[in-house]
């Protein structure tokens, strides 16, 4: 759940950046142009760096690729940015799955992080319903869900599909909110942030209810 909450925090941070940009518009435009120019001049390397950073942010959620999304939208447009973002997030999710499958998450054995992994492994199983797994992926951080499902040896094909489905709405919100930000559309930015926030809390509530019902059976 921390990952989804961090997404909201980042978007609210984008709103703060937007307001700051209104006060320091010329400086902001200069920075924006420099970053955009770097991405464009980097060509394929820029794409690979963006994808790898997105993947890394999925394995370790304390890092976020979202601040780079507005510049990516400027450089490549919404469609390509969406594709690159999804690609990175899916790659990162597969890394988390592999770490879980081979028990490498034990490096966190003294952390609260591992306790969460163990707790959800007790509530889910390799035979859990696909829709429950999708909700699980939507409601919790990718690195936790990947470790849990990998540790349970959940069907890889189903995991991949659930990952792709669950990352789509977050990528859409990230790309279109970023588009609203760079085009100074504060109303659009607020609407996308609100849409993402409400959607997350609805999904989290549904997942919590489903997992409790399954646990009580």
Please report, for the chain, the start and end positions of each structural domain, with discontinuous segments joined by +.
2-216
Count of residues making up the chain? 217
Render pLDDT for 22-63 as a digit per residue (tens, 0 to 9).
Answer: 444 455 455 555 655 666 566 777 888 888 888 888 887 656
Render pLDDT for 96-142 as a digit per residue (tens, 0 to 9).
Answer: 899 888 877 666 555 556 677 777 777 888 888 899 899 999 888 78
Per-residue pLDDT, 2? 45
Return d(Cα 88, Cα 59) in angstroms, integer: 10
């Amino acid at each position: 759940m921390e990952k989804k909450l961090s997404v909201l925090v980042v978007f609210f941070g984008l709103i703060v950046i937007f307001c700051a940009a209104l006060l320091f518009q010329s400086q902001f435009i200069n920075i924006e142009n420099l970053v955009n120019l770097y991405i464009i001049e980097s060509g394929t390397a820029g794409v690979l760096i963006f994808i790898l950073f997105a993947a890394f942010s999925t394995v370790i959620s304390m890092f976020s690729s979202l601040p780079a999304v507005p510049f990516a939208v400027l450089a490549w447009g919404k469609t390509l940015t969406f594709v690159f973002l999804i690609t990175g997030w899916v790659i990162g999710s597969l890394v988390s799955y592999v770490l879980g499958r081979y028990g490498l998450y034990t490096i966190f054995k003294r952390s609260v992080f591992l306790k969460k992994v163990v707790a959800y492994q007790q509530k889910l199983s390799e035979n859990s319903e696909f829709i429950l797994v999708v909700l699980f992926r939507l409601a919790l951080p990718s690195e936790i869900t990947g470790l849990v499902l990998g540790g349970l040896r959940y069907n890889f094909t189903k995991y991949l599909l659930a990952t792709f489905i669950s990352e789509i709405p977050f990528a859409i919100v990230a790309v279109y909110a970023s588009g609203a930000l760079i085009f100074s559309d504060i109303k659009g930015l607020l609407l996308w942030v609100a849409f993402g926030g409400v959607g997350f809390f609805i999904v989290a509530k549904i997942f919590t209810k489903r997992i409790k019902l399954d646990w009580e059976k």
